[in-house]
A and B are shown apart, each in its own frame.
Chain A
Amino acid sequence: MNNTIFILGVGAFFLMMIGLYGVLTNRNVFRLILGLGLMETGVNLFIVGASYWKGGKPPILGTVFETKAVDSYADPVPQALVLTSIVIGLGVTALALALMVRLKETTKSIDIIETKEEEVNE
């Protein structure tokens, strides 16, 4: 059993669960967005951790020109996917924060319980 993969996987999973706990128990919209960010970081860490194996080198040809190059690299595909995931997560977080600013302007509150439809004055 590969210990590092186990630790990375379990740690990433608990990061996701901390984010989920934050999303479930808080009513402040800003904290909900923070919780979503934590969950997303956990997922990214899980995917990157899946590509790890002991002794794997970073997949850059300049570092291992001399040895049998291809077989000594870590898997590049999950890293490329996580790059996409990080950028989209940035966009989602930014859009959620913009929505939060609008919510604060229209209803004077960012609590999801106190915010009611009738308070929105057109």
Chain B
Amino acid sequence: MNKIAAIFLIGLISAGALGVYISNLPGKKPFKRNGHNDISRAYMTKTANGGKRNVIKKGDRKLENSSSNIVTAVVLDYRGFDTLGEVTVLFAAIAGIGLLLGGSRRRRIRPAGPVISSMAPWIAAFIIITSAYIFLHGHLSPGGGFPGGAMIAAGFLIMVLGMGSRAPKIFKTIETFGGLAFITVGVIGFLKKGSFLQNAFGSGEVGTLFGSIFLGILYAIIGFKVAAELSSGFGEFVAEEEGKHE
């Protein structure tokens, strides 16, 4: 498609969409203070008695789940089934990469110079410690299993690229058992509380690390699983690319 036609088409779409958007731009009513809809309000109050209580105090105990980070509560508790599907999609994508690229031409990559290869494990150690903090505090502060897992993968990538070591085989095992562990936590909820992925570990005090141990367990599982998936997925690319140079 040539450029003129593309610009014309995009202009057409823009004119239509912007017209609809501006004419329907939310006025004051849906976006004023206290304007959350019922679902968001129910997620935020997190009480089992119909969301009547409005203020959550420090030290509250009788909540549905006691995570401080409401986004984490939505992602892992209320929409935990959705997150299971998301993790499955990521697993499928990485398995597809392995299927496409995993051939016979896997070779070791050459290590970098002495400066990088001697400093790489130190940097990787600090990155992995920080990422453990991030995914363990996913229910208290911004962060969680997905960014924490991405950081662990970054730490391993520094070691792979700097020292020439290959991604260990154990990552495939961690991928598989991470998915199994997620489903196991869901089945425990089913057996103890009656529905899949329900919070079966109780909820403690708001704002403490062990108050919402359910979300902590799930985010630790997700963190390791995402780290293993990203590392092994990137390992396929690196092995393939470097094989051509040698």
Using a CB–CB cutoff of 8 Å, the interface residues on chain A facing chain B are: 1-2, 5-6, 9-10, 13-14, 17, 20-21, 24-25, 53, 55, 58-62, 65, 68-73, 75-77, 79-80, 83-84, 86-88, 90-92, 94-95, 97-99, 101-102
Contacts and interface: CB of A to CB of B under 8 A. Distances in A.
B115 interface: no
B33 A55 contact: yes
Interface stretch (B20-28, B126-134, B155-163): B20-28
Contacts of A76: 40, 43-44, 70-71, 73-74
Contact of B25 (A5, A72, A94): A5
Contacts of A77: 39-40, 43, 74
A91 B236 CA distance: 14
Nearest to A80: B74
Contacts of A58: 142
A1 B71 contact: no
Report whether over half of chain A's contact residues are helix, strand or loop; otherwise say mixed.
helix
B18 to A, nearest CB: 7
Interface in B89-110: 89-90, 92-94, 96-97, 100-101
Contacts of B71: 59-60, 76, 79-80, 83
Nearest to B86: A84
Given A10-B18, A59-B44, A61-B207, A88 B39 contact: no
A72 B94 CA distance: 40
A59 B70 contact: yes
8 contacts: A13-B17, A53-B31, A70-B41, A71-B33, A71-B36, A71-B54, A73-B70, A98-B101
Nearest to A70: B44
Interface string B32-76: 111110011101110000000011111000000000111101110
A9 B45 contact: no
B140 A62 contact: yes
Contact of B90 (A10, A21, A87, A98): A87
Nearest to A71: B34
B146 A87 contact: yes
Nearest to B59: A65
Nearest to A55: B33
Interface in B188-240: 206-207, 226, 233, 236-237, 240
Contacts of A72: 33
A87 B70 contact: no
B237 A98 contact: yes
A98 B35 contact: no
A24 B1 CA distance: 6
Contacts of B14: 13-14, 17
Given A61-B70, A76-B70, A91-B92, 5 more contacts: A1-B25, A68-B54, A79-B71, A101-B100, A101-B237
